[in-house]
Amino acid sequence: MSTVPARSLGFLAAAGLALLTTAFALGAPVASADPGYDHGLTARTILSGLTLTHTFTEAGTSTVRQEALADPDDITRLGRDIFVGFQNGVNPQGQPSSSRNLDSTVVEMTPDGQPVAQWDIEGKADGVTADPQAGFVIATVNEDANSSLYTITPGPGGGVQHYSYSEPLPHLGGTDAISILNGQILISASAPGTTGTPAQAAPQPTYPAVYSVTLDPSTSVATVTPLFYDEDPAVAANVGPTWGQTVKLALTDPDSNEIVPPDATRFAGDFMLTSQGDQQQIFVDPSDPSHKLRVLSLSQSVDDTAWPGEQGVLYATDSTNDAVVAVTGDFPDGPVVAATPCGANSAPATCPDPPKFPPNYLGSLNPWSGQVTALSVGGVPFVPQGGLLFVSDRQHQDQP
* Contact between 72 and 106 (Cβ < 8 Å): no
Helix (H) or strand (E) holding 17: helix 17-25
Residue 319 confidence (pLDDT): 95
SS3 203: coil
Average pLDDT, 10 consecutive residues per value, the chain (400 residues) = 33 36 38 53 97 97 98 97 98 98 98 98 98 97 98 94 98 98 96 98 98 98 97 97 96 98 95 98 88 96 93 96 96 94 96 94 97 96 93 73
Instruction: Return the bridge partners of 77, or none.
Output: 82
Please report, for residues 139, 193, 279, 354, the alpha-carbon distance to residue 342 in angstroms, rounded to integers and kept in the order given: 25, 21, 11, 10
* Contact between 188 and 254 (Cβ < 8 Å): yes
Burial 239-251 (b: 16+ CB within 10 A, else e): bbeebeeeeebeb
* Contact between 351 and 320 (Cβ < 8 Å): no
Residues with Cβ within 8 Å of residue 274, at least 6 apart in sequence: 254, 255, 256, 257, 258, 280, 281, 302, 303, 304, 305
SS3 14: helix
Residue 396 confidence (pLDDT): 64
Helix (H) or strand (E) holding 25: helix 17-25
